[in-house]
A and B are shown apart, each in its own frame.
Chain A
């Protein structure tokens, strides 16, 4: 199958289905207060795919766990998250139960812990529909079966009676995606959904996500460390580092005109399968410890272009060009 053109960009016009403003997350730990996410804002529109890229500890997962109300008990989120114009951050458990699965769904990396081991796949899928949609068992079964076909699970009727451990990793991930899509959520959050899978299976799953735009108008958030996945799938990208968004742009703008030295560093240090790269420019050092963040730019200690101001003053996320935000003091960095 040939790679079709990018999904239609629906960034302009319509209202944002998910609007996140100044979201911060901190955790109370034995070693004090750790700030995991700091002032993250973005808009997500219907049918759009947002890629969230970062290394471990960058806050990419915590941002969306906070939105879903799934933070660990020592975590606390501040800011505002509007789903279809309604505030959902730190809302009541009851309201969250009504939203999660119905309007906001998530697919995790680990598909074996994401499914209940002692329940048949069919029961787990139907439960979502009987709970959220008040369907009867047979209605739910029909709908769930359709969903399994949509994610291209062969012999859905037989698979229906099987337990999660009887599925391969790629197949389980499909079941998770089917489960997440059952109620046609407004937003599907996929947290490293293909990281544990083999490349050929990853390609199948990514194709499935790409096809989502054709069948539904679900907005997709793809949390990943792999810029390759982002390039093939997303419309907009947010790059995170040490809990902050350091660059936000459309996918083409980010890849062909990266403005932040960290984004440039990431692109330069990735070996590529489609061309020879004589030497890779590694980013020196390692991601910072969130409990000991420097006062200025968190990336400054690893940045080859850092100057005095970077060490004392944290750069704000400003517009570099229309639709392209970066948090860096370098003016039009060379």
Chain B
């Protein structure tokens, strides 16, 4: 593999919650000790349920929220150490696409103005006519007619707004785009269009994506590598093929078995490992392994010791579970949840 574009090391994002004059704030560990690398043209899928820290992770990488600890090395420079001006220059290379297509576009700006704005910001010398031409090109590229340039976001459908949002992110020719649930708010038939567009743009511009999603089906289709988060911690990272062929972490396994499959016969026959209960409060995460309160394989060891993401059979497939080997071999003896306390 070529040199990594992005190298994230032990990233932590902790938010103080509550607290006052006489009370210490509690710490919400939205992202806790997350590390990964991303190469040029690669897509990393960040998967997890609500509250797992996937959006916070994306934003912390882009320095839109300040990480509490850790390093974000972008082409060798630590973004956390840059001052605001230096960081702003770097933003040309680092863009973001949001989930809600309409809310992420300024309703008072025409589409043309929305697309020209990054150009004026990152290429100060650019003439209006050049900017105009680039915006028109970009609109064509994302499948919108340039004649619609003077319209406002509310005149477009959700799918079209997401195209505009993608055009805005791509127009400065970034090297990395963080896509935060970019297709979750769209209708099924429109989702496929946007996924196809993201793939086309990637092969054309060689851009890397961090693709944040709760939808494993979409992630399987779009990503090269996948990282599964739970309560801010990495449960498992692997190449796509390895992750789907041999998921090792009990959480990944149950996530995969919970995804509805549009195939009635398979849906009837497949095994579903149901995760019981709800996500614990991130303000009061379980001791030891954060997943142990819902894990069918937990033992007293899981209560005490938090597992680290260790390599499995291959160095690129890492799993944070004490018992992944025994579980895979079917020899693991668990302790009933009721006896753990």
Interface string of A281-301 (1 = CB under 8 A from B): 111101100000000000000
Which residues of chain B are within 8 angstroms of A266 by Cβ–Cβ distance? 188-189
Q: Are A3 and B258 in contact (CB under 8 A)?
A: no
User: CB within 8 A of B278: which of A170, A225, A255, A277?
Assistant: A170
Closest B residue to A194 by CB, please name it.
B260
Chain B nearest CB from A80 CB (Å) reads: 30
Of the stretches A8-16, A38-46, A197-205, the one at the interface is A197-205
**Of the 9-residue stretches A19-27, A178-186, A228-236, which lies at the interface with chain B?**
A228-236
Partner of B188 from the list A207, A225, A272, A274 (CB cut-off 8 Å) is A225
Size of B's binding interface in residues, CB under 8 A: 47
User: B262: which A residues are within 8 A, CB to CB?
Assistant: 227-228, 230-231, 255, 267, 270, 272
Tell me, yes or no, whether B108 is within 8 Å of chain A by CB. no
In the bound complex, CA of A201 to CA of B277 (Å)? 8
Which residues of A (215-253) have their CB < 8 Å from a CB of B? Answer: 225-232, 251-252
Taking a contact as CB atoms closer than 8 A, the residue among B49, B157, B195, B214 that contacts A271 in the complex is B195
Of A154, A252, A280, chain B has the most CB atoms within 10 Å of the CB of A280
Decide if B192 touches A229 in the complex (CB within 8 Å): no
Interface size on A, residues (CB 8 A): 52
With A202-B258, A231-B261, A286-B159 as known contacts, state yes or no: A269 contacts B191, CB within 8 Å: yes
B261 to A272, Cβ gap below 8 A?
yes
Closest beta carbon of chain B to A177's beta carbon, Å: 15
Q: Which of A171, A200, A226, A271 contacts B275 (CB 8 A)?
A: A200
CB within 8 Å of B: which A147-169 residues: 154, 168
Chain A residue numbers with a CB within 8 Å of B196 are 279-280, 282
Closest to A237 in B: B264
Q: Which residues of chain B in 273-288 are interfacial with respect to chain A, using CB atoms and an 8 Å cutoff?
A: 274-279
Contacts of B133 in A (CB 8 A): none
- Which residue from chain A places its CB closest to the CB of B261 in the assembled complex? A274
Q: Do B189 and A269 touch (CB < 8 A)?
A: yes
Q: Does B132 sit within 8 A of A, measured CB to CB?
A: no
A282 touches B192 (CB 8 A): yes
Chain A CB within 8 A of B221 CB? yes
A-contacting residues, B169-190, CB 8 Å? 187-190
Give, as a whole number of angstroms, the nearest-CB distance from B258 to chain A: 4
Question: What residues of B have a CB within 8 angstroms of the CB of A225 in the complex?
Answer: 187-188
B264 interface neighbour in A1, A6, A154, A271, Cβ under 8 Å: A6
**Alpha-carbon gap, A270 to B190, bound state (A):** 10
A332 at the interface (CB under 8 A from B): no
Q: Tell me if A56 counts as interface (CB < 8 A to partner B).
A: yes
Q: How distant is the Cα of A291 from the Cα of B260 in the complex, in angstroms?
A: 34
Q: Does A2 contact B (CB under 8 A)?
A: yes
Q: How far is the CA of A81 from the CA of B318 in the complex (A)?
A: 57
A249 to chain B, nearest CB (A): 11
In whole angstroms, how far apart are the Cα atoms of A270 and B188 in the complex?
A: 7
Question: Within 8 Å of chain B (Cβ to Cβ): is A273?
Answer: yes
| A282-B189 CB under 8 A given contacts A270-B217, A274-B266 | yes
Separation of A203 and B255 alpha carbons in the complex (Å): 9
Report if B263 contacts A (CB, 8 A). yes
Say whether, besides A55-B188, A270-B188, A272-B261, A1 and B49 are in contact (CB < 8 Å): no
| B184-235 interface (Cβ within 8 A of A) | 187-193, 195-196, 214, 216-218, 220-222
A248 to chain B, nearest CB (A): 16
Expressed in whole angstroms, the Cα–Cα distance for A204 and B274 within the complex equals 7
Cross-chain contact A277 with B221 (CB below 8 angstroms): yes
Known: A231-B260, A280-B195, A282-B189. A200 touches B217 (CB 8 A): no
Known contacts A200-B49, A206-B260, A283 near B192 by CB under 8 Å: yes
In-complex Cβ contact of A273 among B157, B261, B272 (8 A): B261
CB contacts (< 8 Å) of B257 on chain A: these are 203
Residues of chain A within 8 A (CB-CB) of B68 are none
Chain B, Cβ-Cβ closest to A201: B278
Complex interface: chain A residues within 8 A of B261 (CB): 228, 231-232, 272-274
Q: Is B23 an interface residue (CB 8 A)?
A: no
User: Are B193 and A282 in contact, CB atoms less than 8 angstroms apart?
Assistant: yes
Closest chain A residue to B257 by CB distance? A203
B276: chain A residues at CB < 8 Å are: 204
B256 touches A273 (CB 8 A): yes
B214 and A5 contact, CB distance less than 8 A: no
Interface residue A322 (Cβ < 8 Å from any Cβ of B):
no
The reply to whether B268 and A6 form a contact with Cβ atoms under 8 Å apart is yes
Task: Answer yes or no: B270 CB below 8 A from chain A CBs.
Answer: yes
Contact partners of A3 in chain B: CB under 8 A: 267-272
Q: Nearest chain B CB to A289's CB is how many angstroms away?
A: 9
Residues 251-267 of A contacting B (Cβ, < 8 Å): 251-252, 255-256, 265-267
Q: Determine the distance from Cα of A252 to Cα of B188 in the docked complex, in whole angstroms.
A: 21
Is there an interface contact between B258 and A286, defined as CB atoms closer than 8 Å? no
Residues of A near B218 (CB, < 8 A) are 271
B50 lies within 8 A of chain A by Cβ: yes
Minimal Cβ-Cβ distance residue in A for B270? A3
How far apart sit A133 and B81, CA to CA, in the bound complex (Å)? 67
Is B254's CB within 8 Å of the partner chain A? yes
Contact: B217 with A286, CB < 8 Å? Answer: no
**Hey, which bits of chain B sit against chain A, CB under 8 A?**
49-50, 157, 159-160, 187-193, 195-196, 214, 216-218, 220-222, 244, 254-272, 274-279
Can you list the 4 inter-chain pairs with the closest CB atoms, starting with the nearest? A228-B260, A269-B192, A271-B221, A203-B258
24 contacts between A and B (CB under 8 A): A1-B271, A1-B274, A3-B269, A3-B271, A6-B264, A55-B188, A199-B216, A200-B258, A200-B275, A202-B258, A203-B275, A207-B272, A229-B260, A231-B260, A231-B262, A252-B265, A267-B262, A270-B192, A272-B217, A272-B221, A273-B216, A273-B259, A276-B244, A282-B195
Q: With contacts A270-B188, A270-B217, A272-B261 known, what are 6 further pairs, Cβ within 8 A?
A: A198-B49, A199-B259, A231-B267, A265-B189, A266-B188, A280-B192
